[in-house]
Amino acid sequence: MNQLHQQMKNVVESADTERKLILLRNHPDLGARIAMSDHSVQEQAGAGLQALSEVQHSVLSELNQKYTQTFEFPFIIAVKGKSADEIIAAIKNRVHNSYETEFETALREVYLISWYRLEAWMLEHMEEER
């Protein structure tokens, strides 16, 4: 599994900046009340993002908008194991990063998300084989 994930990362890392931006820009906004993949819905629900209060939703929406205006790609964080408050705190901190720092941070978060999804896929399919 480690080798497969590393190969996935290598594909992204070997891409030019524009291709990496396309990858980042295709991520849904956290807490958005839009159609998302089943994986995104499950991950965001696990972090409580599908059950935000109106105030939390408003704060997260404003922060997402500020972040996207600043960096021209959505805020990306692997939400597994994080609460809504931790995610809001992270976006408040990260919106002040330099473009370069945030670009690399967002890619690392994509890698972490892909690891979690690959791990879940492997576990699910290993169970089916038993």
Cα(46)–Cα(34) distance, integer angstroms: 17
* pLDDT band for position 124 (cuts 50, 70, 90): confident
pLDDT at 108 over 90: yes
The rounded distance, in Å, linking the Cα atoms of 52 and 127 is 33
Q: State the average pLDDT for the chain.
A: 85
Residue 47: CB partners within 8 Å, gap ≥ 6? 79, 80, 82, 83, 84, 87
> Which CATH number does the domain housing residue 27 bear?
1.10.3330.10
Q: Which residues contact 122 (CB under 8 A, 6 or more apart)?
A: 1
Domain total in the chain = 1
Domain holding 125, by residue range, is: 2-129
Q: 4 and 114 in contact (C-beta within 8 Å)?
A: no
- pLDDT tens digits for range 25-40: 999 887 655 444 455 4
31 alpha-carbon distance from chain centroid: 11
Catalytic residues: 27
Spatial distance between the Cα atoms of 42 and 20, rounded to a whole number of angstroms: 25
pLDDT digits (tens, 9 = 90+) for 51-87: 778 888 888 889 999 999 999 999 999 998 898 889 9
